[in-house]
Structure 1
Amino acid sequence: MTTAATMAQVEDVDELAPVVVTATRTAQTADETLASVSVVERAEIDRRQSRTMSDALRGLPGVEITTNGGLGHNTSLYLRGTRPDHTLLMIDGVRMGSASSGFLPWASIPLGQVERVEVVRGPHSSLYGSEAIGGVVQIFTRRSEAGALTPRLMIGAGTYNTVNTQFGLSAGAETAHGTGWFEVGLGFEQTQGFNACSGAPRRAGGGGCGVYEFDDDGYSNGNGSLRAGWTFSDRLELDINLLRSVGHLDYDGSPFYGNEQRQLLQVAGARIIAQPFDAWTLTLRAGRSWDDSEVFADGTFINRLDTRRDQLSWQNDIAFARAQLATIGIDYLRDELSTPTAYAETARETKGVFGQYLGSLFGQDLQLSLRHDDNDQYGGKTTGNALWGYTLGNGLRVTAGYGTAFKAPTFNDLYYPGYGNHDLEPENARSLELGLSGRHGQGVWAINAYQNEVDNLIAFDPATYAPMNIDRARIRGVELWSTAELAGWLLDANLTLLDPRNESPGPNEGHLLPRRAQQTFRLDADRRFGPIGVGGTLFAAGRRFDNDANTVRLDGYALFDLRADFAFTEALRIEGRIENLFDESYETAALFNQPGRSLFVALRYEP
């Protein structure tokens, strides 16, 4: 069922739900889509004074975040208990992530350049192909509406010698030949940081960085974005997008593995939307993403790994009757890597053909989709989804869904020298979900229950000293959320209960999958008193384990953040946020430290 996490932002909780496109590859409001969706919009990012993607996503239903240190350090997202590489990440419609390792660059995405985030839970390989086992996260960079030249500026500083500046400029114009617009943004952030890792393992089962290097691990990042478009007529429009983020990270390492990393995240794309006839909308999209890294040890170069993902898409949406929409399309993806390491293969191509039906029949809402992917390394893969919804007379809405998904093996899995296995097959998943949603006197609510079975999981086999398709997992979960307006306070609460089990034969069978908390809870409360805004966030997570054997336990923890702002005018305000108010000491990955009590203050000008 739908989760619109931003519905409690607005003064009128009955305001129309946000429009989402990720769940169906077409535009629907969040309360129309049959998938389980959360939307984080720019208004919520600013109101909650979020500074990173982890800030914006932590505590959403089904979302678990782990970080190996502070700002800029490796960050992993576990969506509905699946592995970090079982979530598809897109930026403005372009697939992101390392083709060599499957790692997703969450820490490198500059939140200041983001307009909104859509989180779609559940299997979606039938629309997007590989990686969408746990779900899809799509990030949209800032875009402008037609209007006069408008600047925006933010200057902030805080604990750990942190500074953050953002500048943007937008404009639009209407001419006799159409309407054009652009938005450009620049940002810079830097922090001295803190010691990211506690050193060599001190507990049975290992974990952590495995070295002693007790220094502050800082981070700096320069970023920029550009979006521009031209509407030629009601039937033809063009837009382009570019995002670039360059970071330098210090971490606890060694002369062999390095202790410094230069990271490049870049995405560029273009899209044409045409409507040859009233019933036919044609979308053409092209894009490329870059995920590059260079590793150094105290300034000495060690290794380089650059990956490229080139993408083309042709999509046709055909409204063949009232409330009946058919979508058919073709996707093309080419992955390529460049590195001094001698991989047996450094490029591969995937072609995908997909179709979808969206409509209502006899009062029943349906979404049916089917896709076939053909890859020149692992062959063909067919996946499908079926979602159903029905609105009862009392306003309650019941939904149900079943879907299949897969994850292709990475270049490291297949070809890393001395390790890869050419015979690996894709990982497979089957998921069943039930949902119920409705309204109460002060807002909206929903509950979803699901089971996801994943097999053919790729894991290291000590008998062959190579990765093999030997693991499987069973993940059950329940997600509850609600929004409300009580006595002027805007409230948003989410609770996730998770049972992620290892079902692989062997000594770890029945154990909990590592780094997934069985309970997470988030409550946000905000209110305005004239020019003054106040708010707070409570986030709590239960205990989890850091290893498959469940011998390294990570204790549960609770974090409390406070925030306030003062608006001098509609455009100018000062804001401040205290994170981890009670200075909780906790770990999301064994031996990796997390920020203590932190303060960040900023002056923001945004007409």
Structure 2
Amino acid sequence: MSQQFTHNGVRTSYRRSHASALSCAAIKPVARATCVVALGLTALHAQAQSAPAEATALPPVVVSATGYPQPLASALPSVSVITREQIEQSGAQNLVTLLQQVAGVQVTNSGGPGQPSNVFVRGFGGADVLVLLDGVPMNAQDATGTSYLNNFTTDQIQRVEIIRGNVSAIYGSGAIGGVVLITTRKGSKKPEASVSVTAGSRHTATVSANASGQIGNTALQAGISRSTTQGISAINPAQLSQANPNTNGYGNTTMNGSIVQTLAPGQSLGLRAFSSQGRASYDSYGAYASPTDTNLSSTTQDLYQIFSDNQVTSAWKSHVSVSQQSTTNTTENFSAFPYSATYRTRIEQGLWRNVMQLGAGWTATAGLEFQRQSVHSITASIPDEQRDARAVFAGVNGRIGSNEIQLNLRHDAIDGYGGQNTGYLGYGRELGGGFKAIASYSTAFNAAPLGYLYAPFYGNPDLKPEKAHSAEAGLQWSQGVNVLRATLFQTKMTDKWQYDFTSSTFQNIASSSTRGLELSGRGAWRGWVYDANLTLQQPVDTSQPDEPTLQRQARSLANISISRAFASVLYGATVHYSGPRWDSGPTGQVTLGGYTTVDLNASGALSKNWRWNARVQNLFDKQYQTVYGYNREPLGIFLGLTWRPAL
């Protein structure tokens, strides 16, 4: 018996067969793992070639590596992509859950749902990982420099691309560790609508609705989602003294909409709006805490954007956008020592980006960017400050025979820092049989957030920018939807920001580096769709004599996701592994043990217009921590139903 099923961009015809077994080899240190790279790629090459002839591959496309669409296999930087289809099939309700499955990415959480999360890419996190929402920077200009990804639910996200490694020459300040590019839901030419409901463990419930279509030359899209959960008591009172453990509930409302008017063939004008509002309860501990305390936090992220896309000539496309992004955070404590703090950071951006086809397989990019960055504190915990940032950038990408070259140059001028120049040079050579050798060298810088510079007591207006340089070398094999890649990487950072307990301020007193081996692969084999990765890294503090591993950073990370359709149901499983890490405890350093979690998902059709999905989170109820003193979510079961009416 043969049936067809489409998932993750792969349409396959399959026949029922005996169950297959998946075995994993033991993780080896970097020095020993390098010798198996070529053998592993060759074996996977042979397996993929033996796939049934009836399988039809649809290669994934990425935009982030160059600024214009290209096949994933053509990208010289290391890139991962999460599509809307993958988001729906996973059943994941928040962005952080999706990101922790990406190669080289590690997520830490200080509390329950809605509480601060830090995303590390190849050992760099916080202000060193740039997050863009529809091309607009989301990193706050407060004393954290992070993007509050814990506040992003998945219902209004179309796709996510993650660049691993230093790409400051393409995206500017903050891209030392990598870039996370989030794209919101867009309108479609034909009418579409959906309503989804999800419910499950810990009184979790989500309701979302989306609609899009085109009226004449006007494309419309609108979506809204509401998610609530009772959460867990994340804090561990046995580890943190005088804690006030209580259930940490979280609620989020996200809205997204766009209007795009086609003025003439190749000429369009659009308006986009996005808003995410989250409110959470959290635990506190320490000398001023008590079990009866109540702690609340709320985070609102708003984005408004006007944009124009124009086909100036047959070979020249232009994009112009004007945007305003703001993040407002409020913290309230009701106790014997009550306090309240509210601050807002804002980025106003003007962007002009151009893509020009030069002929003979060459493409050029160029543009200008302006940002006005500001921070405002209603409770005066951070004085009102603002600065301007200007940039000019250009790039070229193309082929000479079997050789592929990418060159990007960028000049940034940020108030207080003067001019900063960065560059990226990538090279690829086709070796035949789907194999390609890849190498790159790049430089980067990061301007300190306004909170680091001007916050009372610990701010330092004399902070210099962090600077870094990176080198990569890799081997890739690709055929159709299958892309397998092995990458050796190294990044060295100088003038790293670190809190100095002697002066009680931030100082440029540290340096760090990370190097390692990254193996990644995605595609299809004999009816199975897979996405797997292994990262062996050494993120170390080079300002210390013995070069200790950076806090909360694991030296080994691994993920594997597999899925396959049986009859009318798509089944999937995801395994996430993190090695041990160290963290600060009340009496000094403590070790957070390594852990492995397993998630299951399934989805299928009830009828032409109705679909169901199910997700099991942390199948074996593994108890683990990513930050000392805060437990992660236990076993959870979630069921969803989606209605897509015929329009």
Q: Which amino acid is 2:442 matched to?
A: G
**Which residue of structure 2 lines up, in the alignment, with residue 36 of structure 1?**
78
Query: Matches of 2:318 and 2:64 in 1, distance apart?
Result: 17
Check whether the contact 2:583–2:590 (CA below 8 A) recurs between aligned residues.
yes
**Which residue of structure 1 lines up, in the alignment, with residue 190 of structure 2?**
147
Q: Which amino acid is 1:164 matched to?
A: T
Q: Secondary structure at the match of 2:565?
A: strand
TM-score w.r.t. length of structure 1: 0.92
Identify which of 237, 240, 264 aligns with 1:233: 264
**Which residue of structure 2 lines up, in the alignment, with residue 445 of structure 1?**
484
**Which residue of structure 2 lines up, in the alignment, with residue 90 of structure 1?**
132
Q: Secondary structure at the match of 1:107?
A: helix
Alignment of 1:123 onto 2:162 = no
Q: Could you list the per-position Cα deviations for residues 221-260 of structure 1 after superposition, in whole angstroms to 9, with x for gaps in the alignment?
A: 1111012212223331123221101111110127799721
Check whether the contact 1:37–1:120 (CA below 8 A) recurs between aligned residues.
yes
Distance 1:342-1:492 versus aligned 2 partners, 3 A rule = closer
Shift of residue 279 of structure 1? 2.4
Distance 1:459-1:441 versus aligned 2 partners, 3 A rule = closer
**Where do residues 322-361 of structure 1 align in structure 2 (5 Å cutoff)?**
322-339=360-377, 340-341=379-380, 343=382, 346-361=385-400
Distance 1:570-1:529 versus aligned 2 partners, 3 A rule = farther
Alignment of 1:457 onto 2:496 = yes
**Which residue of structure 2 lines up, in the alignment, with residue 248 of structure 1?**
279
- Unaligned runs of 5+ residues in structure 2 are 1-5, 13-54
Shift of residue 550 of structure 1? 8.6
**Where do residues 182-581 of structure 1 align in structure 2 (5 Å cutoff)?**
182-199=220-237, 202=239, 211-253=242-284, 259-298=295-334, 302-339=340-377, 340-341=379-380, 343=382, 346-439=385-478, 443-505=482-544, 509-547=546-584, 551-581=589-619
Query: Matches of 2:316 and 2:526 in 1, distance apart?
Result: 47
Check whether the contact 1:409–1:424 (CA below 8 A) recurs between aligned residues.
yes
Q: Could you list the per-position Cα deviations for residues 475-521 of structure 1 after superposition, in whole angstroms to 9, with x for gaps in the alignment?
A: 01211122354443222211111111110135xx4110111211111
Q: Secondary structure at the match of 1:197?
A: coil
Query: Matches of 1:386 and 1:221 in 2, distance apart?
Result: 42
Distance 1:481-1:550 versus aligned 2 partners, 3 A rule = farther
Check whether the contact 2:59–2:480 (CA below 8 A) recurs between aligned residues.
no
Q: Secondary structure at the match of 1:252?
A: coil
Q: Could you list the per-position Cα deviations for residues 446-480 of structure 1 after superposition, in whole angstroms to 9, with x for gaps in the alignment?
A: 11110010110011122322211111111012111
Check whether the contact 1:511–1:550 (CA below 8 A) recurs between aligned residues.
no
Check whether the contact 2:108–2:117 (CA below 8 A) recurs between aligned residues.
yes
Distance 1:497-1:272 versus aligned 2 partners, 3 A rule = same
Q: Secondary structure at the match of 2:150?
A: helix
Query: Matches of 2:8 and 2:84 in 1, distance apart?
Result: 13
Q: Which amino acid is 1:230 matched to?
A: Q
Alignment of 1:68 onto 2:105 = no
Check whether the contact 1:227–1:240 (CA below 8 A) recurs between aligned residues.
yes
Q: Secondary structure at the match of 2:433?
A: coil
Distance 1:30-1:159 versus aligned 2 partners, 3 A rule = same
Alignment of 1:586 onto 2:624 = yes
Q: Secondary structure at the match of 1:132?
A: coil
Report the more deviating stretch, 569-578 or 548-557. 548-557
Shift of residue 330 of structure 1? 1.0
Check whether the contact 2:309–2:317 (CA below 8 A) recurs between aligned residues.
yes
Q: Secondary structure at the match of 1:320?
A: strand
Shift of residue 27 of structure 1? 2.3
Check whether the contact 1:199–1:211 (CA below 8 A) recurs between aligned residues.
yes
Shift of residue 343 of structure 1? 4.2
**Which residue of structure 2 lines up, in the alignment, with residue 3 of structure 1?**
none
Check whether the contact 1:126–1:354 (CA below 8 A) recurs between aligned residues.
yes
Q: Which amino acid is 1:115 matched to?
A: Q
Q: Which amino acid is 1:285 matched to?
A: S
Report the more deviating stretch, 423-432 or 528-537. 528-537
Distance 1:564-1:343 versus aligned 2 partners, 3 A rule = closer
Query: Matches of 1:394 and 1:170 in 2, distance apart?
Result: 43
Shift of residue 81 of structure 1? 0.9
Distance 1:18-1:487 versus aligned 2 partners, 3 A rule = closer
Query: Matches of 1:519 and 1:485 in 2, distance apart?
Result: 25
**Which residue of structure 1 lines up, in the alignment, with residue 152 of structure 2?**
109
Shift of residue 113 of structure 1? 0.3
Report the more deviating stretch, 39-48 or 461-470. 461-470
Check whether the contact 1:196–1:592 (CA below 8 A) recurs between aligned residues.
yes
Distance 1:233-1:31 versus aligned 2 partners, 3 A rule = farther
Count, aligned residues: 588
Distance 1:28-1:341 versus aligned 2 partners, 3 A rule = same
Q: Secondary structure at the match of 2:641?
A: strand
Query: Matches of 1:27 and 1:531 in 2, distance apart?
Result: 33
- The alignment-based identity, stated in percent, is 30
Check whether the contact 2:403–2:427 (CA below 8 A) recurs between aligned residues.
yes
Q: Which amino acid is 1:432 matched to?
A: A
Q: Could you list the per-position Cα deviations for residues 277-335 of structure 1 after superposition, in whole angstroms to 9, with x for gaps in the alignment?
A: 22222211111111101111139661111111000011222323322222221110111
Query: Matches of 1:9 and 1:71 in 2, distance apart?
Result: 31
Identify which of 212, 229, 233 aligns with 1:170: 212
Q: Secondary structure at the match of 1:111?
A: coil
Query: Matches of 2:628 and 2:381 in 1, distance apart?
Result: 32
Q: Could you list the per-position Cα deviations for residues 158-206 of structure 1 after superposition, in whole angstroms to 9, with x for gaps in the alignment?
A: 11111111111111133xxxx3211111111111111121137x4xxxx
Check whether the contact 1:258–1:295 (CA below 8 A) recurs between aligned residues.
no
Distance 1:483-1:324 versus aligned 2 partners, 3 A rule = closer
